[in-house]
Amino acid sequence: MRLKQEQKIRYRWCEVWHDPAQNGNFVTGWVYGKYITPH
C-alpha cells in the first residue's frame, strides 16, 4: 500500500518553496516529484 502511494507521488509535479538568501524572501517553483524526497 505504501509503495503504491510513493509511486503515485513520483510522477507528479510538486510546488516547492525556497529561501535562497535565508532572509525570508521565498521563491516558489515546481519540481517533478521523482527528483524530491519527502521528509
Q: Which SS3 state, helix, strand or coil, does residue 11 take?
A: coil
Using alpha carbons, list the distances in angstroms from residue 25 to 5, 21, 28, 30, 36: 33, 7, 10, 17, 22
Q: Residue 6 has what pLDDT?
A: 61
SS3 26: coil
The residues spanned by each domain of the chain are: 2-35
pLDDT digit string, tens, across residues 1-39: 465 666 665 668 888 888 989 999 999 999 888 877 766
Count of C-beta atoms within a 10 Å radius of residue 7: 11
In the chain, the largest separation of any two C-alpha atoms, in whole Å, equals 40
